[in-house]
Amino acid sequence: MARAADLPESSPVTVQVDSRQIALFKTGGDVFAMDNACPHKGAPLGQGTVEGGKIFCPMHGWEFDIRTGICADRPDRPAKCIPVRVVDGQVQIQL
Ligand code: FES
């Protein structure tokens, strides 16, 4: 779906897989994926701001850990993380 080397460290990339929108992040050289819909009101996390391994929702600013999906604002409302692996430089996700 994407080449890991092409993903920027500082901003997410959104891809479509079948009918799902997936936000891809690269932080510390590792690649992570989340459902593109914020668990609060569904805003696209792939359009959020990345800072220090966190993604900030573009709508209300909730903060999510890119690696775990844990929400600092509402721990009971984590983002949905999706397993990722990189094979021969290609990002693969497990849906
Ligand atoms: S929709 Fe993401 S914080 Fe409100």
What domain count does the chain have? Answer: 1
Mean pLDDT throughout 53-80?
97
> How many Å lie between the centroid of ligand 1 and the Cα of residue 57?
6
Distance from C-alpha of 88 to C-alpha of 74, rounded to nearest angstrom: 37
**Other CB atoms within 10 A of residue 55 CB:** 27
Question: How far is C-alpha 7 from the chain's CA centre?
Answer: 12
Distance from C-alpha of 30 to C-alpha of 8, rounded to nearest angstrom: 11
Does the pTM of the predicted model rise above 0.85? yes
> How many Å lie between the centroid of ligand 1 and the Cα of residue 94?
25
1 pLDDT higher than 90: no
CATH of the domain at 9: 2.102.10.10
Which residue range is the domain that position 89 belongs to?
2-93
Q: Is 74 in the pocket of ligand 1 (CB under 6 A)?
A: no
Question: How far is C-alpha 60 from the chain's CA centre?
Answer: 17
